[in-house]
Amino acid sequence: MAVPHPLAPLSKAEFERARDTVVKLYGPDSSLFFRSIYLHEPPRADLVSFLQAEHDGTLTDSTPRPLRLAVAHYDVIHTATKHLEYAQSVVDLNLSWEIERRVAGPRDQAGYPPFEFAIFYDACVKSSLFKEAMAEFVLPEHFTVTIDPWPYGGLDPDDDRPRLLQGLVYARDGSNNNPDSNHYGFPIPIIPVMDVATKEIIRVDRLATGGAAQDGLEPAPRESDAKPKPLFLNSRPSEYVPELLDRPLRTDMKPINITQPEGTSFTVHPDNLVEWQKWRFRLGFTPREGAVLHDLCYDNRPILLRVSYSELTVPYGDPRPPFQRKQAFDLGDGGFGRAANNLELGCDCLGAIHYFDAYLTDPRGNPTLAKSVVCLHEQDNGIGWKHTNFRTDRAVVTRLRELVVQCVVTLANYEYIFAYKLDVAGGITLETRATGIVSVVAIDEGKRSPYGNVVAPGVLAQNHQHIFAVRIDPAVDSYAAGDSRVAVEESVPVAADPETNPYGNYYEVRKRTVEKACWLDAEPMLNRLVRLENARKKNEVSGRPVGYKLTPPPTQLLLADRNGLQGRRAKFAHHHVWVTGHRDGELWAAGEFTNQSTEEKGGVYDMVQRGDWFVDDEEGEQRVNKDDEDEDGGKNAEEQGRLSSPILWSVFGLTHNPRVEDWPVMPVEVHHVNIRPADFFTSNPALDVPSFKNKASVIVPCCGGRQDLKAANANSEAEEGTVQRDAAAHMQGPGPDLAAGDVGAHVK
């Protein structure tokens, strides 16, 4: 059997081998609950050696290969003591042998697996506390109750239990007999809190439902003799499924079909190697990140070793307790991969589509097939480049075709669509779309609130933010250690000077190399760019370093007080760019354990504090940190600074102050991170893209009239002498060309 590529996803047999290896480590006095099993990526040094041989064409059967490893995340419950620990085991798949095990600290909480969310409903149904809280309200006839489990957020000072889960409570109008009726339109002002270990509801928080600040931050006290409060007396349905809408569907939309009659231009190999045009990469998929791109190359020249979404935090800006706990970390607390949709042809992805499946684990460690969690397709993104020579009346135009790797996740009420887009001009775009249903709470009818927007009677959509972090591991035209570097470039105005800038129109392009780990912020007034460069290769035309550039999106960052609970938990969200030193396995912008954290630990802030550097000193000698050695003489390299390869983290956000138009389901908000070649090529890499006319395109006459399309095209081509065809109107000389000698030039 062929040996798998080091970056190929685990096969079903490898998945089961990893599980069986872990199970054998524990006896009958322990119970295991598996959270995830997936490929443990090789150490960078081992992987790079293999990739260099692969791309050089020197790969043979005797080429050293990185160990084929898997990582398993699981809970261990010790039967006698009822003690639970969260463990990670790295397994050598060839030897079926555990080579490493890490056990989380007592205050470190792993993300929630689906089975923990599943028990929340049952806990509420059994809970006398929940029933007592619900007894405060009267619901209309036919209404039922539904609950969304939610991450607990940061622990309050008086929270001493190790693992908690909270829930947002809603009602559903069952009178229409449709299970898809939108329950988010009927929020109930309580939040039950569950102790995950005991599966019991330990308290139910009552919520304030006032509007302005004078209503106070706390809910009105519950009177012991008060009658139950009727809910939803003047509420109205907020439906989005077609059969329940209060308006007819449009009937004037004609189909748009995307066809590729000669097939697609990409090739997908069995080990997830994708080749398209001059691009090649390997697609990975993890339960936490979802889709990951490895070894991204153009024309066999490496650009990025790895790129992935690393974290997303969603803090809510309502100061009324307990809403300070509404701060999800959607990758660390839940996981993009675990929440990935099974994509549907003709709905999520249009055209000629290739789908990728992935294996996820059930609690017993069995591989369960997640179908169609990533889609791959080509799309047209408008004009790629064009120039019209009005002297000759000839236009050359090409289309900007893209290859799209797309994944869609649903996390409670929200959907995120994230896509990696590669284009024929060597560009890389990370596109993020947010849609779904805004998180809402109850508000007293007739009131307004500074904490959000009333989107329906009694329904307040709270102000909040979505702040993403993308991790980028550069390998610009080289895999070799020390070849990649990061630089910052700015375009700076220069004051008028009689000698150097007499008319004041000069501006200076300033550039500096990032020499040590740091953070940066976007600055559109300076056109601040982050360049990923090769430290040793120069462009043969410009003489500048071969590279790619990233323009940090100048989006608003975390608004919560930096010293408050939300600010301490998401230090990564304080800056647009972080540059840190590489360590194997460091993938998480907010640290590995985000669930119930009170402080970001092990994230980019700590990585910067470590003090890594990226260039040698002026004498060319590598600096040595004297603190690198501990008392035993061993290295403590994970905690101390050292010479390292740079890792770039791009942070961008969406501040969402809801509109009525976001209800009951919001149109997509779209954000882009653009990574573009900057002196990587010696000319426009899309010059060789064919320029041809799409024969399926037709003219559509105006005013609903009909006419012969051939005649229409012929008439449009026959028109002469309009200003639009006048070369001078386009600032081009009308011609004919002048003989060089006639205008005074010397001719040899």
Q: Enumerate the active-site residues.
A: 330, 414
Question: How far is residue 379's CA from residue 419's CA, in Å, rounded to a whole number?
Answer: 12
**52-77 core/surface letters (b: 16 or more CB in 10 A; e: else):** beebeeeeeeeeebbebbbbbbbbbe
Question: How far is residue 18's CA from residue 24's CA, in Å, rounded to a whole number?
Answer: 10
Angle in degrees, CA 74, 80, 84, rounded to 5: 30
Contact of 112 with 333, CB cutoff 8 Å: yes
Q: Which two tokens stand for residue 434?
A: 């947010």
Closest CA to 367 of 375, 376, 357, 377: 357
Q: Which two tokens stand for residue 289?
A: 């990140």
Q: Which residue has the tokens 């969603």?
A: 314
Rg (CA), the chain: 30
DSSP assigned state of 516: B
User: Which regions of 299-366 does DSSP assign to beta strands (E)?
Assistant: 301-315, 327-329, 354-361
Closest CA to 470 of 514, 512, 530, 513: 530
Distances (CA, A) of 506 to 240, 491, 492, 512: 55, 10, 9, 20
Sign of CA dihedral 168, 174, 175, 176: positive
Sign of CA dihedral 131, 134, 140, 145: negative
Contact of 310 with 649, CB cutoff 8 Å: yes
Measure the CA dihedral 347/351/357/363, to 10°. -10
* Amino acid present at 472: I
Closest CA to 514 of 474, 479, 471, 563: 474
